[in-house]
């Protein structure tokens, strides 16, 4: 048996957006140190001040409760935090609080307020940040920005750097299944499906990415310039006539990449990474095919991005770049062959 807890009640506070390995380390440290733990999660009003892409309070609470159910079901309670310090300055039963190096000064201010209130200061349990393989701190912001998963692993495997990946035949059937929401509409009027898709998206809070000449042209015809566009001068692998070519004049940046059919090249990867960092509308002109580009795109863009691509003869697919979508793209790429 382990040593008995040093403290009676430990407080943990934070946003806990996209519960990750660093969060779990904090919770584990609190549970090892105290007989009981109170987790105080910032409410939606406070969380939304940090980012437009925060999970709701209910989602964040449920993720913490799932961790609690598996690790300390009878010792941890979860509460809503409505101000910066919550109950900590006046909590009569608390005797410890968990902090990271960046939140320790705030915990010290809490202790100053406790002394003013005639209470003993809390013991501050400082927990070092977890870092990923690149040495960067695993954080919710890096996860929201699409850089790493909740374990701190990069979405784009270092083993793929500089490599040409060729699609394996067993991947093709799964790629034909839409990864997002399919909006149906007549092929002769692609704007019908596109308008239906746009109704479900807050375009002011979303990075719009369009893959395919018809998809890009449809958005432009609706006076919407996508943040990123990918075109190859073809539709259904047939070259477009001159009058059907995408007018790229609406884009601030025009980048080029070579990417033959059935593969993903280092050149395309590099251009996608570059385009994802640009703040102005950018179009990537692909010499070859851009059909497989979404697999790389999702691994390089923030979670509030949405990728649109056409489903020939059916309509348009909208793929939010969620953690689940990124994980699926990475899993499919692991089935590709390194040429």
pLDDT of 2 reads 61
Q: Rounded mean pLDDT of 3-25?
A: 95
Q: Is 1 among the domain residues?
A: no
What's the CA gap between 151 and 21, in Å, rounded? 5
What's the CA gap between 225 and 267, in Å, rounded? 24
Do 91 and 23 belong to one domain? yes
Position 338 pLDDT exceeds 60: yes
**Percentage, residues of the chain above pLDDT 90:** 88
pLDDT of 1 reads 46
Residue numbers of the domain that contains 58: 7-144
- Strand extents, DSSP E, 63-171: 76-81, 96-99, 123-126, 165-166
Bridge partner residues of 318 (DSSP)? 181, 308
Q: What is the mean pLDDT of the chain?
A: 95
Position 45 pLDDT exceeds 60: yes
Please, which pLDDT band fits residue 186 given cuts at 50, 70 and 90?
A: very high
Position 311 pLDDT exceeds 70: yes
Q: Is 2 among the domain residues?
A: no
Position 284 pLDDT exceeds 80: yes
Q: Is 128 among the domain residues?
A: yes
Q: Is 100 among the domain residues?
A: yes
What's the CA gap between 91 and 121, in Å, rounded? 10
pTM for the whole structure: 0.91
Do 184 and 80 belong to one domain? no
Q: Is 273 among the domain residues?
A: yes
């Amino acid at each position: 048996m382990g040593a008995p807890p040093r403290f009676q009640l430990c407080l943990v506070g934070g946003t806990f957006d996209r519960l990750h390995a660093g969060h779990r380390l904090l919770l584990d440290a609190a549970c090892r140190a105290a007989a009981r733990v109170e987790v105080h999660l910032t409410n939606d009003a406070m969380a939304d001040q940090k980012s437009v892409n925060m999970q709701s309070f209910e989602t964040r609470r449920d993720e913490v409760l799932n961790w609690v159910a598996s690790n300390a079901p009878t010792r941890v309670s979860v509460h809503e935090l409505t101000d910066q310090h919550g109950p900590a300055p006046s909590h009569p039963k608390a005797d410890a609080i968990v902090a990271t190096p960046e939140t320790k000064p705030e915990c010290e201010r809490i202790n100053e307020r406790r002394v003013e209130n005639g209470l003993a200061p809390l013991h501050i349990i400082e927990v070092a940040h977890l870092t990923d393989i690149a040495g960067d701190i695993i954080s919710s912001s890096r996860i929201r920005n699409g850089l790493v998963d909740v374990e701190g692993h990069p979405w784009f495997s270092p083993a793929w750097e500089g490599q040409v990946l060729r699609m394996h035949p067993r991947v093709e059937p799964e790629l034909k299944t839409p990864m997002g929401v399919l909006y149906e509409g007549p092929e002769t009027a692609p704007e019908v499906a596109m308008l239906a898709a746009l109704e479900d998206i807050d375009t002011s809070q979303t990075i719009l990415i369009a893959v395919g000449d018809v998809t890009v042209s449809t958005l432009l015809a609706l006076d919407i310039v996508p943040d990123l566009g990918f075109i190859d001068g073809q539709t259904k692998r047939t070259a477009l006539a001159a009058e059907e070519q995408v007018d790229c004049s609406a884009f601030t940046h025009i980048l080029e990449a070579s990417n033959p059919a059935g593969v993903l090249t280092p050149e395309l990867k590099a251009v996608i990474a570059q385009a994802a960092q640009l703040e102005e509308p950018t179009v990537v002109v692909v010499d070859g095919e851009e059909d497989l580009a979404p697999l790389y795109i999702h691994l390089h863009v923030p979670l509030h991005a949405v990728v649109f691509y056409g489903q020939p003869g059916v309509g348009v697919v909208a793929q939010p770049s969620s953690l689940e979508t990124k994980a699926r793209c990475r899993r499919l790429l692991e089935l590709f062959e390194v040429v």
